[in-house]
Amino acid sequence: GFIVTDRTLKLFLCGPLLIQAVFLTLAGHLETPVSVVACIVIAVAMEGFAIPAYCVNHLDLAPQHASVTTGISNTVATLSGIVSPLVTGFIVTDRSAEQWRIVFYITSTLLVLGSMFYGVFGSGEKQPWATDENL
């Protein structure tokens, strides 16, 4: 039912985002390259749990319009993929650990905010606007 779908989506989307934030923040504080890389690998691996949750969410929200909603969300995601290297290049000028720590903090903050937003407003319920009786 709705409650199970809603909670499952939130668990598999919010949980990995928060774990990513923890490991990226931790990576900014570790000294050895191996430990930093290990934290980044774990953080990126957590995305494997989140991807199915937000991919299937388009089908839950609007089955008849899932291709359009997926296209819109992928466009927004692509924009962040364009902006983030520019911001990183602006912050990291001498490759110091302190500058990379700022990048990790920004990324972690965005992950936590995204998780909180979806945790509060996210839904697995078919939306009223997605119902078209003429189709």
Output the pTM of the full model: 0.86
Q: What is the DSSP string of 28-42?
A: TT--SHHHHHHHHHH
Using alpha carbons, list the distances in angstroms from residue 23 to 7, 29, 92, 130: 24, 10, 20, 37
User: How many whole angstroms separate alpha carbon 25 and alpha carbon 102?
Assistant: 9
Per the listing, tokens 């903050």 go with 109
The pLDDT of residue 135: 55
Burial of 31 (0-12, 13-18, 19+ CB in 10 A): exposed
- Whether the CB-CB separation of 127 and 61 falls below 8 Å is answered with yes
Q: How far apart are CA 23 and CA 38, in angstroms?
A: 9
Residue 81: HSE in the Cβ half-sphere, 13 Å Cα cutoff:
6
pLDDT string in tens for the chain (135-residue length): 556 778 888 888 999 999 999 999 999 999 999 999 999 999 999 999 888 888 888 888 898 999 999 999 999 989 999 999 999 999 999 989 999 999 999 999 999 999 999 999 988 888 888 887 655
What span, in angstroms and rounded, lies between the C-alpha atoms of 88 and 106? 10
Dump pLDDT digits (tens) for 91-112: 999 989 999 999 999 999 999 9
